[in-house]
Structure 1
């Protein structure tokens, strides 16, 4: 019986790098790699438009030894989740990398990629270019020279430098990159991203940003930071995250505003932010999934959050809120006679009663 073997064309890496529709999406893949490496800080440097400066993505993650580099990183389509329980080794983060092709993300925007990594006293560097891949017939036969040297035993992390940016592609934008990263990493307190010297924050969301502070008898000091997106569609992870001593408590929520008739649900889905209230520490449940909701301290924070959110929505979407409430009342109105004060909805006791109440209500206004 004769045998045949698969051959991996060297163009595979180039094709995999084209899996990303924009440079910013490709750079996010490199940030995801840093997350999976348990990094606490990622520093991204983008060149000025129309210059020949490099793109640099540097993290302080675990780094790789030569054995790890050869057995894991250089193995195409290696799924990190298959080697673990789906979480990172130290910080127990859910692993982002799924396809094992993020290593080629940089080649989407640049012709040359240089990687330097440090771990356990070993520093390794190599350079990979598009021309190297195109000149080799089989990627398995591609020689990749490694520069191996010693480093401090405490040094760790990985740096990817991208040079010779591809002609014909739009220059990477710091603002667009922030928009790409904000939804996924904007609330992470143990994962700091710095882009061209500015840390990623809630104020990077494209929309109206507000920060307000308050002091309360039982809850102490609190700071609310939020933005209302300008996008027509809702956000992927909307809501306000409760932060206590730098740690998120439960999932983002609307602090009861989802039960209000004043703010439509589609507007709430444009909301993104956090409220820091360290004074709630004594009321956080053991699993950090919620707080004791009937505590006076928590109710003070809820009132604080609700009041500021309603005021912000009235300022940015007041007309839309009034129109939505008018539709809820089912009373047709001309825009010129639209009331400025929202009246409470009429109770639906019965068909006749509701009709009579509506007629009386129309006569009053």
Structure 2
């Protein structure tokens, strides 16, 4: 256990503001913290780093009643076989934050033994664990080897104790292994007393770690051991981040240095850029990762281009890459990486040149990827839709099947890739293709017939083929009508059974007004209806001081009425919820509208000339219960004597719709029964 008696052996010199800003606020992911500790191990000449972590685990929780953080006793360890530290080195280097290690002759720009270009610069990474925990335990063996091994330094950095002091040197607690010896040099960092943070699962943790490093060295490896479920998750190594690319889009950047304006020299880069096969599934794979000294310093999706450039959506969704630019983190000259080592100073001279260079490359990649990406989306659509089988099932004519497939490929190229997992979206596109295919085939047949009529090969066969395709196109139009009517009736049945609210009923009646009267055909959204709605709304507002709204087709609003123009009469549809009984309060409101409609038609014959047979209010409700005798008499007068109200119940409404479309519904049921029979028999024919 830590011992405070001799705690002055290890002293930290740092301001509380530095701990807060560079520790807690910069690092809140477990993988980011571990990556900083791995980078320190690399700078210490380690060849092997072992990370012990409980994967897919919540490290602590906050008690809702007390507000206190309650831990579960987990630890995270990062152990390396580097050169370690002596007590003096720990005090001089590890426990000092903000000093540029590369300017320190005692440390230098390269690692001690392997002469690696060091990743660290100002020692900020050692504060990273405070973003996820309160205590950091350091056990390190280094210095000169003795007959009993390497001397051990063991101390604990406590967040609360560091913040408790007023920017004065803070003594560290000394651990129980201090001044012992180990057979091997190296350092173990142990994190304890966690904040409410979660460790991701193995796949995500590997991806997050791989994204942070661009190392390709045979003498450095990082392995991960799951301390929670070691049987289910055996140890694994952190490898590279593999991203499948669209064919023909990868651009190698080794021979494309960054030119500097007004200078003859260029800035070398290596790596690649390209377009991913699919849109990003996670943020680690998104964009172009930029590395310096093997460690990520920035990620960009468009190299700072302003929004609205050509191909922006595609680039932001598919662009990936890995660029190594060592000049971003040179030992001498301007430091082009931000203090938190997470971004580039894009407004510096080098940063602007890099941005312009990158913008030019991604424009080239976008142009190269356009056709491959569309081809891929086409392939995904054809696979998801099963279009070929559906076209063969619907059409006996092979030419129409071929037309449907060709048209489907064209539609598929411009489909939204992220919507192809939505079966309703795919089925909608398929229905469009199958509805249009016969008409396109007919157009092609007319064109072919026209050419043959003026050529030497014209004859009866081509004319018969034209007649055949004309009949098929006509049948396809009827089939589409049948499909829409069956779907509307089924949707109405579902709404009446499950929902029954006015909004849902308003929507379906607006979309399919023939449900009220089977002889109706929807002629909505025409100019006469729009003009009437606008003028009557003004008339009603002036007379009653109230607003009235109409739906012409389904507008997504909650209208007072739906307007339908059927030849010579205007139908004003008033819908009530399923089970609603029309009461006195409903009548008061409707009575105002009845008188207003009557007056408007009398006073504005020019505006209402499109409706020579006048108007009627179609009231859909499940009963009338007007208690006031005078109001009840008035309702009967307007309904029976004047003929201005036509009431229908929802039960009658559905029965009438089913009866009028019984032929379509029977055909649909027979087709379903035949499909089930074929599925049961296994007969593919």
Distance apart, 1:61 and its partner CA: 0.8
Alignment CA distance shift 1:13-1:270 (3 Å): closer
Contact 1:126 1:146 in 2 (8 A): yes
**Is 1:149 equivalent to 2:179 in the alignment?**
yes
Partner residue, 2:236: 198
Secondary structure of the 1:64 match is: coil
Partner residue, 1:236: 289
Contact 1:59 1:158 in 2 (8 A): yes
Contact 2:42 2:220 in 1 (8 A): yes
Q: How does 1:120-131 map to 2 (within 5 A)?
A: 120=144, 121-131=150-160
Secondary structure of the 2:45 match is: coil
Tell me the distance in 2 between the aligned counterparts of 1:205 and 1:229.
12
Distance apart, 1:11 and its partner CA: 5.0
Distance apart, 1:206 and its partner CA: 6.4
Tell me the distance in 2 between the aligned counterparts of 1:265 and 1:195.
34
Identify which of 358, 362, 373 aligns with 1:320. Answer: 373
Alignment CA distance shift 1:160-1:139 (3 Å): farther
Normalized per residue, which structure has more helix?
Answer: 2
Tell me the distance in 1 between the aligned counterparts of 2:371 and 2:112.
48
**Is 1:74 equivalent to 2:91 in the alignment?**
no
Partner residue, 1:176: 204
Contact 1:179 1:205 in 2 (8 A): no
Normalised by the length of structure 2, the TM-score is: 0.31
Gap runs ≥5 in structure 2: 1-12, 59-71, 145-149, 226-234, 246-275, 292-313, 323-369, 378-405, 414-685
* RMSD over equivalenced CA pairs, Å: 3.9
Secondary structure of the 1:236 match is: strand
Normalized per residue, which structure has more strand?
Answer: 1
Secondary structure of the 2:179 match is: strand
Contact 2:31 2:209 in 1 (8 A): no
Partner residue, 1:36: 43
Contact 2:14 2:97 in 1 (8 A): no
Q: How does 1:197-346 map to 2 (within 5 A)?
A: 197-202=235-240, 205=242, 231=280, 233-236=286-289, 270=320, 320=373, 322=375, 336=409
Partner residue, 1:136: 165
Aligned positions, number: 237
Tell me the distance in 1 between the aligned counterparts of 2:37 and 2:73.
21
Distance apart, 1:336 and its partner CA: 2.7
Contact 1:28 1:181 in 2 (8 A): yes
Tell me the distance in 1 between the aligned counterparts of 2:200 and 2:99.
28
Higher RCO (Cα < 8 Å, 6 or more apart): 1
Partner residue, 1:86: 109
Distance apart, 1:143 and its partner CA: 4.7
Contact 2:46 2:220 in 1 (8 A): yes
Normalised by the length of structure 1, the TM-score is: 0.55
Gap runs ≥5 in structure 1: 1-6, 209-227, 239-263, 273-316, 325-332, 341-365
Tell me the distance in 2 between the aligned counterparts of 1:56 and 1:62.
18
Distance apart, 1:188 and its partner CA: 2.8
Secondary structure of the 2:123 match is: coil
